[in-house]
Amino acid sequence: MNTTIRLFVFAVLISFSHASNAQQVNTSATSPVRTCGSGVLGEEFEEWLQPLLRSNASSATQRGASTVYTIPVVFHVIHTGTNPGISYNISDAQILSQLDVLNADFRKLNADTATIPSVFAPVAADCEVNFCLAQRDTAGNATNGINRININTITATPPSLPYDKTFIDGTVKPATIWNVLNYLNIWVVPNMASGATQLLGYATFPAGSGLTGLSAPYGNGLTDGVVLWYRCTGKVGNLDPSYNKGRTATHEVGHWLGLRHIWGDNNCGNDYCSDTPTQQTANFGNPVFPSTSNCLNNAPNGDMFMNYMDYCNDVSLKMFSLQQRVRVQTVLQNAPIRVAQRNSNACTPPVAGIDNADPSLRLTVFPNPAQSIVSIQWTAISQLEIDRVVVRNMLGSEVASEGINGIANSGQIDFNTEQLPAGVYFIELAGPRVYRSERFLVIH
Q: Which class does domain 6-342 fall in?
A: alpha beta
Active site (annotated) includes residue 252: yes
Reduced to 3 states (helix: H, G, I; strand: E, B; else coil), residue 255 is helix
CA geometry: angle at 78 spanning 38 and 250, to 5°?
50
pLDDT tops 70 at residue 395:
no
The yes-or-no verdict on residue 211 having pLDDT over 50 is yes
> How is domain 355-442 classified at the CATH fold level?
Immunoglobulin-like (2.60.40)
Give the helix/strand (H/E) hosting 97.
helix 92-106
Q: How far apart are CA 203 and CA 225, in angstroms?
A: 6
pLDDT at 20: 25
Mean pLDDT of 299-306: 96
Q: State phi, psi for 228 to the nearest 5 degrees.
A: -130, 140
Considering only CA atoms, which of 383, 344, 376 is closest in space to residue 360? 383
For the chain, the farthest-separated pair of C-alpha atoms sits apart, in whole angstroms, at 72
Q: Is the pLDDT of residue 47 over 90?
A: no
| Residue 160 pLDDT greater than 80, yes or no | yes
- Contact between 74 and 352 (Cβ < 8 Å): no
Q: How far is CA 389 from CA 319, 399, 402, 415, 438, in A?
A: 42, 11, 5, 10, 11
Contact predicate 412/371, CB 8 Å: no
pLDDT digits (tens, 9 = 90+) for 334-368: 998 899 899 898 988 775 544 444 566 777 888 88
pLDDT for res 361: 73
In angstroms, the Cα distances linking 177 to 99, 163, 187, 332 are 19, 17, 9, 21
As a whole number, mean pLDDT of residues 180-200 equals 90
Q: Between β-strands 398-403 and 388-393, what pairing exists: parallel, antiparallel or unpaired?
A: antiparallel
Say whether pLDDT at 195 is over 70: yes
Q: Of 271, 290, 273, 289, which Cα lies nearest the Cα of 281?
A: 271
**What's the mean pLDDT in 393-412?**
77
DSSP-assigned letters across all residues of 309-372: TS---GGG--B-BHHHHHHHHHHHHH-HHHHHHHT--TTSPP-TTSGGG-TT-EEEEESSSBSS
| Residue of 43, 44, 46, 252 marked active site | 252
The residue extents of the domains of the chain are 6-342, 355-442
Q: Which helix (H) or strand (E) holds 378?
A: strand 373-385
Mean pLDDT value across residues 3-7:
40
What DSSP assignment string belongs to 147-176? Answer: EEEEGGGT-SSPPPSSB-HHHIIIIIHHHH
pLDDT beyond 90 at 302: yes
Interstrand relation of 423-430 and 434-442 (parallel, antiparallel or unpaired): antiparallel
Q: 46 exposed, middle or buried (CB, 10 Å; 0-12, 13-18, 19+)?
A: middle
Q: Provide mean pLDDT across the span 77-82.
A: 97
Please, is 399 exposed, middle or buried when counting C-beta atoms within 10 Å of its C-beta (0-12, 13-18, 19+)?
Answer: middle
